Amino acid sequence: MAQRAVIQRFLQLKLKTYFFTGLLVVVPIALTFMVVQWIVTGLDSFLAGLLPAAFHPDRLLGFHVPGLGLIAGVLIILLAGALAANYLGNKLFVYSERLLYRIPLVRIIYTLFRQVADSTFGKERKGFRQVVLLEYPRAGIWSVGFLTGVTEGEVQQLLEKRMLNVFVPTTPNPTSGFYLLVPEEDTIPLAMSVDEAFKLVISGGMVTPKGKKGPGRARPARSGQ
């Protein structure tokens, strides 16, 4: 009986080990395929909504080809880039942009997305420049943030200290977060890359990058010390 209990215990431990090992293997792969499928399906549906029913790829080909929306999107981006790169295409783009700026609500939305696109993909793109550590939402509680730039204009003129623009993302969705104006002296630059910081935030701290020697600045002193 004792030997049987030992064997059962051994099998239980083995099955438990195999199960959790399988989860580590299957879950990332499954989630990756689910996200890719969601993107491809969404783009296919978007393309189908733009085309008249008679010109739907499924109807013309007689069968469904997944990924046509993604391919069409890439081709449209390449075509737009090719047109904007030459003289006539650039003139047409400037003229179209002027028309958009004349429409009140459209002007606000377009300007916002244009500035984001210029910052992310433009020749002088800024994006997330560096990962920093700061005390937020209160002293003694630390958060990882992304440096997006140096505060300028009216805001900086009203403040005595040199301020930095910092985006503090939320977990597990880093696309939402908080825009903070933080004194430069209250931030600590980190050596981890932006990609590593994103993994850290999305995983809720379960995926932690290996320690590196940071760019270096002493821990900010708390007020009153």
At 12 the pLDDT is 82
Which residues 6+ apart lie within 8 Å of 183 measured at CB?
A: 161, 162, 163, 164
Question: Does this model's pTM top 0.85?
Answer: no
Question: Nearest CA to 209 among 191, 184, 186, 187?
Answer: 191
* DSSP notation for 120-137: HHSTT--S--EEEEEE-S
Closest CA to 73 of 53, 55, 48: 48
66: preceding bond cis by omega (within 30 degrees) = no
Domain coordinates in residue numbering, the chain:
130-202
Question: pLDDT tens, 15-66?
Answer: 888 888 888 888 888 888 888 888 888 888 887 777 777 777 777 777 777 7
Q: What pLDDT score does 225 carry?
A: 47
